[in-house]
Structure 1
Amino acid sequence: MAERRAPGPVAEEPDFLQFNDLACESVGGKVVFASDEWFAPAANLLKREPPQFIASAFTEFGKWMDGWETRRKRTPGHDWCIVQLGVPGLIHGVDVDTSFFTGNHSPYVSVQAGCLNQPPDFTLEGDRTGMAASDSQLAAVAKADQRGILQVPGWEWAVFRLGHPGEIRSIEVDTRHFKGNFPDCCRLEARSLSPEEEAACFRTGWNSGKWQLLLPPQKLRPHHRHLFESELTLSRPVSHVRLIISPDGGVSRLRLWGRATPIAAAPANQQRAASKL
């Protein structure tokens, strides 16, 4: 497949680009620590050549990317790395390039700098794809983190209308093929709605009415088929279910096993006019 075309040049480049790149690998710059490098190693940050995108390139950990890409954060804090400059000097500007990271880019960055009397006594060697810092490595560089820690962002959710109202007896949440980008946890809520109530919920962004807890929060694993039965807390018929994942990530399949509720009129999914949930 053809390579994706690189972004066009910016209208006006900052003046500091006339100076030397003190961190470039060609002048000896190197990454001496990174908290996580699951999808792509931090060493890519210091390459001299522009980033490229190869649509057909994959690794066993996911899509190959010519940059630094970590797993979605599952603990308080943020991912970070330490770069040892190849040439010490006065920094006039920073160029942060997110080329080809369109839905998985970092929403923000911060950069701190210092002048150490002695170089760090640790370094990372070889291909670090699929790896993360160990507890001992994190402890060794904890003194280098001088910023406050931010909490993991919130949650995502989706509402599903059942094909037939019924009592849900077991639930399957499948995260197969999501290894570094699976949700940390999930929960499910449920309720029974008439066509008119569903339409009202859609108009209000699903902020009206009350959901009942069907499945309490459950820890999820990567690339795994999760089955829940004894954990369910609701034993009455429902027509709609809301899946909530936190903080975000991928789910391959959601299956709701149960007993359909007999109804006298036509099936509910035939009564309702087509609508978007």
Structure 2
Amino acid sequence: MNERGDAMGAFHDMPDLAGRVLGGSVLAASDESFEAKENLLNPWVPTFREGTFGPKGQEYDGWETARRRPDEHGDLGHDWALVRLGLAGVIRGVVIDTAWFKGNYPPHASVEACAVDGYPSVAELAAADWTEIVPRSPLDGDAAHAFPVDLERRFTHVRLNMFPDGGIARLRVHGDVVPDPALLAGLTVDLAALENGARVVRCSNMFYSSPDNMLFPGSARNQAEGWETARRRDLTGHDWAEIRLAAPGIVRVAEIDTTHLKFNAPAAVTLWGLDGRAADTGDPAAWRPLLPRTRVQPDTRHRFRVPGADEITHARLDLHPDGGMARLRLLGDLTPAGLTALTDRFQRLRDPQRDDGRPLLADRRPTAPPTARRP
């Protein structure tokens, strides 16, 4: 079986907290003379068509500012873009991608982050307490630059700085979602929702797309926005995904959504649960059935009651034999232990100091970052 394994440790496989599909938005920018700031969060791979000249010159799929000139003091200044994360959380890594910007990319960039509750204005964010999470670092043209972040704090916004000007195609902010427990306490919640902190921790196959997709908010707009496996030729087996729930809870309703999967939906599904505090997820005998093997239809939103369920921390969805899943919802109740776990984590990650008193951000000198050049 092909499990996610070590790949789960790479921040590239974590959700893009700034992603537009998760609610991220570019609130403001110092300049967008050539290309709009909103392009930074486009979900697709940056594209380019040579010879597409508009009123402002060659068109690029990214954010591009005007050329800066020194002021009377010889100061160039720098450009910046302010991003509200779609999902607040702990940032594990940042990708700054200068795809297709070859003669007009910025030579350096940095990233800052802050945590502001509610829905602050741009002016309020300007006065916030910002923390540098990526120091000023050199960039190359037409390359994706990956910067790991070692800072155990919950953030809500980031600010991308480029020195002094130029074009950046994409900004990705990968990390762990940390929800506000005040919005979940006492309510029926989706225990499998990414926005509530759930994640897929293992799966059998993710040939076409990530299984985390089925935990995204909203409805899938096409089959690419769900999870889809390769065609299984071993007819004795089946595909599966293991989900770590947002917190310990009791599942009351399971929603199995195969919308847009017309010819590649599974024939049937099975749903299992396990309390990871008392059992090993690797022990097949420890899993208890939540939903028996049940036939499902293509391009259909199914809802099933889950009677007499126990408190669990993990769920496993089996696809028989293979196929795709647009969305998985596990609606239920947080237990007292679950709410306590969420609250403790939320409060701990708002504290800017570790328990031992050391600053959370290690002393890191700017170095040439790893790059992924395009052919």
Larger gyration radius, structure 1 or structure 2: 1
Structure 1 length-normalised TM:
0.40
Higher fraction of strand: 2
| Greater RCO (CA < 8 Å, at least 6 residues apart) | 1
Structure 2 length-normalised TM:
0.30
